[in-house]
C-alpha cells in the first residue's frame, strides 16, 4: 500500500487503450469505452479513499472529433449515462466535479448533463474530479495568451510584466486554483503526452503502464503511487 503520508495531491491520468482493449476481445470500440468508464468509477472511489485532493482525467480531446461519428456519439451517450447513474453517489462521497476545456461547445444534451453534475456537486469538499472534455493543451495555452493579450491592450497589464504565474492563472486549472499535477499516469504502453496539460506537467513525475485503461485497477493506481513515492523530486535542482 502507498505511504499515506506521501500521497500526491494532484494525479492526472491519460486514460488510453479503450479501443485496443475492445479489439483484443473482438468487441465494438464502444464496449471498450463502456469498460473504461467503469474503470474510471473505481479509480475515482479509490483516489478519494487515498486522500488525493485532485484527480484530472483526459476524457475527450480537441482531436477526438476526428474519430468516427458513431464512436464520438457513443462517448457522448456514456457521459450522459455517467451523470445519470453517478451523481448521487458522487455527492454521497463528497466528490466535487469540474470540467476543463471547451465543453460548452459540445452537444446540448451533454452540456445539460454536465451542468447538472457541476451544480449537484459544487458544495462538496472532498476529492475534486476534473474531467478534461474538448480539451487540448495547446488550445488552453492559446486561450490564456489571448486573455493576457486582451488585458495588455486594455492597459491592465504591461506585456513585459507578464509572469509565469500570470500564465498559470489564465489557464483552465489556474482559474479554479488547481495546482500542477504531482503525478501523471498514462495507460496502454504509449509514451506520449498527447497535448495534455502541457504547461502544468513541467515538473510532474510520469508513470507509464502497459495496462489498457479498462484493466487499470485501484491496485494499479497504488503501484503507480508507490513508484512516485520512491522517486526524489528535484524541480530542476540537485
What is the spatial distance between Cα 65 and Cα 90, in angstroms, rounded to a whole number? 28
Neighbours of 190 (CB within 10 A): 14
In Å, how far from its chain's centre is CA 176? 14
Which helix (H) or strand (E) segment holds residue 46: the answer is: helix 29-50
16 catalytically annotated: yes
What is the spatial distance between Cα 102 and Cα 61, in angstroms, rounded to a whole number? 10
Sheet holding 10-14, edge to edge: 96-100, 128-135, 54-61, 10-14, 183-186, 205-208
3 catalytically annotated: no
Question: Exactly one of 3, 48, 64, 134 is catalytic; which is it?
Answer: 64
Question: Exactly one of 5, 16, 34, 161 is catalytic; which is it?
Answer: 16
Residues labelled as active-site residues: 16, 64
Amino acid at each position: 500500500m502507498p505511504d499515506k503520508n506521501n500521497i500526491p495531491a494532484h494525479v492526472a491520468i491519460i486514460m488510453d487503450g479503450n479501443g485496443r482493449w475492445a479489439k483484443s476481445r473482438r468487441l465494438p470500440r464502444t464496449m471498450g469505452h463502456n469498460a473504461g468508464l467503469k474503470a474510471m468509477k473505481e479509480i475515482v472511489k479509490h483516489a478519494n479513499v487515498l486522500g488525493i485532493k485532485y484527480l484530472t482525467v483526459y476524457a475527450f480531446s480537441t482531436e477526438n472529433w476526428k474519430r468516427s461519428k458513431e464512436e464520438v456519439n457513443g462517448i457522448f451517450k456514456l457521459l450522459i449515462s455517467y451523470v445519470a447513474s453517478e451523481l448521487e453517489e458522487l455527492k454521497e462521497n463528497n466528490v466535487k466535479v469540474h470540467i476543463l476545456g471547451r465543453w460548452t461547445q459540445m452537444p446540448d444534451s451533454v452540456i445539460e448533463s454536465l451542468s447538472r453534475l457541476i451544480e449537484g456537486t459544487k458544495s462538496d469538499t472532498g476529492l475534486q474530479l476534473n474531467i478534461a472534455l474538448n480539451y487540448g493543451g495547446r488550445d488552453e495555452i492559446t486561450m490564456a495568451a489571448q486573455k493576457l493579450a486582451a488585458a495588455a491592450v486594455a492597459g491592465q497589464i504591461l506585456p513585459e510584466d507578464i509572469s509565469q504565474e500570470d500564465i498559470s492563472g489564465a489557464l483552465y486549472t489556474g482559474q479554479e486554483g488547481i495546482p500542477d499535477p504531482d503525478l501523471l499516469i498514462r495507460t496502454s504502453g504509449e509514451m506520449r503526452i498527447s497535448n495534455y496539460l502541457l504547461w502544468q506537467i513541467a515538473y510532474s513525475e510520469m508513470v507509464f503502464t502497459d495496462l489498457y485503461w479498462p484493466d487499470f485497477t485501484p491496485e494499479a493506481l497504488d503501484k503507480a503511487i508507490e513508484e512516485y513515492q520512491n522517486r526524489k523530486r528535484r524541480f530542476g535542482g540537485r
